[in-house]
Amino acid sequence: MIELVAMLVIAGLLATFAVNRFFQRDTFDARSASDQVASIVRYGQKLAVAQNRPVFVRIDGKSVALCFDAACSDAQKVVPPAGTNSGSKNTLLACSDRRNWLCEGWPSTVKLTGGAGFYFDPLGRPYYAAYGDFSTPLVLTVAAGGQQYQVNVAPETGYVYR
């Protein structure tokens, strides 16, 4: 009987802390968004080299997307390798309701800072659309729920790392 009571007390304590942590989606959303940002930016660099043309990375506070021109016109939007983006509610809201565009969005609780428009040239080197080449690494910060994740783009090589 004593063992049973001890197990119930331990289970109750674990449940108290674990349930709180389990229902906090912000942390998971931030990690997911940082993974998406890193993957899309890395793919943009590889695509620029593979197709021997500039690839523009469009970043705003709620999404990241790839295009073949700075204006991101409909004819110049990059198609995802799988044919469609995730199609989540947040992606469709942030990406003009288009599934055939390499664009991903995330919940409003997730914030992306540090990025302005930039592009990769045909050699995979990053350049700011308005200012020229990078002199220091570009640091994109994804934050939510008290967690922060960084995605870095190295100058000269365009290497994307976390």
Q: What is the pLDDT along the chain (162 residues), one digit of tens a residue?
A: 888 889 998 888 877 776 666 667 777 888 888 999 999 999 999 999 999 999 999 888 788 999 999 888 888 999 998 888 888 888 888 888 788 889 998 888 888 887 767 899 999 999 886 666 677 888 889 988 888 999 999 988 889 998
- In angstroms, the first-to-last Cα distance of the chain is 51
Question: For residue 41, which of 105, 84, 103 has the smallest C-alpha distance?
Answer: 103
